Amino acid sequence: MSAHARGLSIGFVTVLLFGATVILQASLVKEGVKPFAAVGIRYLVAGIVCLVIVVITRQSLLPHKGERIPAVLLGAFVYGLQAVLFYSALNYGTVASVSLLFYTYPVIVLLASLALGLRRWSWLAGGSAGLSVVGAALVVATGRAVAIEPIGIAMALGSACCVAVFLLANKRLIPTTPAIVAATWVSFGVATSTLLIAFLLGEIESFSARAWLVLVISGAFTGVGTAGMYVALALLGPAPASVLLSLQTVVAITGSALLLGQPVLAGQIVGGAAILGAIAISAIGTRRESAAIPRQQ
């Protein structure tokens, strides 16, 4: 099997794992598991899974010197907030609405990169941003049924902004540590901060056996999915991998409709297609810019 074919196979498995994780989180919301407890336990399990993978692949257990504290702090304060906001948003909207609004983050990264001078303006960049805004508007304003409440919209978009900040900061603060090692300690950072808050708020309580099972499975899916994501990125490259991984929204939306009975409205389908199209256009623009760099040197 070629490297490209392996990348596609691993990428599709990763898509299934991450999509299933969103559905599992929605089921935890129905179980009444509070946000900080749910996120903390999930990322503790994910961190342990990533650590096992690091040991198996014989990589360094710790990030490179100078990058250890940033990795933990990024997880504790940025990625942890992202995860809590996403989980909390599921209390106020369907999986479809929350997932689609969250997946505006690649375009938020694009706009931030343009504003910071990290990328140059192009019609592809502008078209990607515009299409993403139209898609998000359709998701929010779709149909006669209330698919998501205003506070859910704010939380989902806030989660997307946190991911954008994390991705931009991660590239500067953890530039040399192997990705799976960084992911391990980011996960532990998330778990540390959220579990501490969960204890202070009294969210750690006697969960049902079903809730514990879902928490452990979702954590394991997150850990294995994270490892798969980095392998897919290495085999396919960032642009194709980002488009492929964005399909996890399709898995989450389809699964929530089939397993949780949540409605998927026509406007959401059109809006979702626009957002996924924006991600694809953004990836094409990134690939063209990357391809142009060697010719300029």
- Token look-up 């969250």 returns 102
Q: How many structural domains compose the chain?
A: 1
Residue 81 and residue 47: Cα distance in Å, rounded?
17
Q: What is the pLDDT of residue 134?
A: 76
- Cβ contacts of 60-63, under 8 Å, gap ≥ 24: 60/178, 60/181, 61/181, 62/181, 62/185, 63/174, 63/177, 63/181, 63/182, 63/185
Paired strand residues for 148 = 93
Residue 50 and residue 38: Cα distance in Å, rounded?
18
CB 79 within 8 A of CB 169: no
Q: What is the DSSP letter of 264?
A: -
Residue 222: pLDDT band with limits 50, 70, 90: very high
**pLDDT digits 0-9 by tens, 271-294:** 778 777 777 776 666 666 555 444
Exposure string for 22-31, b = 16+ CB within 10 A, e = fewer: bbbbbbbbee
The Cβ of residue 160 has, within 10 Å, a number of other Cβ atoms equal to 23
Residue 70: pLDDT band with limits 50, 70, 90: very high
Mean pLDDT of 98-122: 78
- When comparing pLDDT for 203 and 193, which is higher? 193
Residue 17: pLDDT band with limits 50, 70, 90: very high
Q: What is the pLDDT of residue 231?
A: 83
Q: What is the pLDDT of residue 125?
A: 65
* pLDDT reading at 296 higher than 50: no
If you average pLDDT over each of 5-14, 17-26, 131-140, which comes out highest? 17-26
Q: What is the pLDDT of residue 293?
A: 42
Q: What is the pLDDT of residue 243?
A: 65
Query: What is the average pLDDT value for the chain, to the nearest integer?
Result: 83
CB 82 within 8 A of CB 242: no
Which residue range forms the structural domain that includes residue 87?
A: 3-296
If you average pLDDT over each of 6-15, 78-87, 172-181, 256-265, which comes out highest? 78-87
Report the percent of the chain where pLDDT is more than 70.
86
**pLDDT digits 0-9 by tens, 114-161:** 788 776 767 776 777 677 777 777 766 665 455 688 899 999 999 999
For the full predicted model, state whether its pTM sits above 0.95. no
